[in-house]
Amino acid sequence: MQLYTFIIPEDIGQVKLMGLAQRMLPQVPFYAVKAAFDKRDVKMNGVRVSRDAQALAGATVQLYLPPQKPREALRVVYQDERVLVVFKPVGVSCEGDEKGGLTIGQLARETLLAPDAPEPLPCHRLDNQTDGLLLLAKDERTQALLMDGFRARQVHKQYQCVVRGTPSPGRAVLEGYLRKDAKRAHVWVTPHPAPGALPIQTGYTVLRGGETARLLIDLY
C-alpha cells in the first residue's frame, strides 16, 4: 500500500474530510480517494474514519492506497524566468479559502519548481471547479504588471463550455448586471441595474452541436 499524509490547516471551516482530501491531494484520482474512505483505509489522528467524517483542524490524515500511477497534477504550457502558464485542473483553488486544500501556487511550487523557489503568484482567477490556462508570475513585480494588463483589458481571455439547449442566435453579445457575495460564494446576474451590481457583457459563439442538443460554446 502507498501512504499519503497531510495535516489539516488550523483555519479550516466545517468541511467533510473526503472532500478536503481530494483538494489536498490533487495528484490522486478522486475514485482512489473515494475507495480509500469506503474501505476505511483513512485515519485521522490515528483513528479510522468513514466518508462522513468532518475535518478536524490541525489533525494528521493518512490515506492508504494501492500502488498506482498518479495523474499529472499540473501541465506546463509555457515557462520562462518570469512567468509560468499551467493548465489548472478542476478542484484546485487560486486562493486559499475555508474549504482548505492546496492552492495553485502551492501545488506549482511543490510539483514543478525547486524546493527553495518562491511560490508563484496567480495573475488572474479561475474558479475551483473550472479548468483551463492560468498565468502565474514568479515575482511580485511581474505579477503587478500582468494584473495591470488584465485590469486594462490588454489580455484577451476565452472560455469554452458545454451547455444544455440551443442558444439563439448562434452568435451574440449579452448584457446584464452582476452582483457578487464573496463570503457566501454566490453570484447573481440580473437584466436591470441593482444595488452593488456591475454592468457586464458576455459574448458567445456556438461552435458545434452534440448529443441531445448539447453544444460547445465559445465565451469571450
Q: Which pLDDT score, from 0 to 100, does residue 68 have?
A: 66
- Pairwise CA distance, residues 59 & 207, whole Å: 48
Q: Which pLDDT score, from 0 to 100, does residue 54 have?
A: 93
**Below-50 pLDDT ranges, the chain:** 212-215
- Pairwise CA distance, residues 175 & 189, whole Å: 10
DSSP string of the chain?
A: -EEEEEE--TT--S-BHHHHHHHH-TTS-HHHHHHHHHTT-EEETTEE--TTPBP-TT-EEEEEE----PPPS-EEEEE-SSEEEEEEPTT-BSS--TT---BHHHHHHHHHS-TTSPPPEESS---TT--EEEEEESSHHHHHHHHHHHHTT-S---EEEEEES--SSSEEEEEEEEEEETTTTEEEEESS--TT-EEEEEEEEEEEE-GGGEEEEEE-
Q: Which pLDDT score, from 0 to 100, does residue 70 have?
A: 57
175 CB contacts (<8 Å, ≥6 apart)? 199, 200, 201
Q: Which pLDDT score, from 0 to 100, does residue 49 have?
A: 94
Domains and CATH numbers, the chain: 2-65 (3.10.290.10), 75-151 (3.30.2350.10), 159-219 (no CATH)
Q: Which pLDDT score, from 0 to 100, does residue 72 have?
A: 64
Q: Structure pTM?
A: 0.62
pLDDT digit string (tens) for 124-148? 999 888 889 999 999 999 999 999 9
Q: What residues does 6 pair with on adjacent strands?
A: 61
Q: Which pLDDT score, from 0 to 100, does residue 155 have?
A: 86
Q: Which pLDDT score, from 0 to 100, does residue 214 have?
A: 45
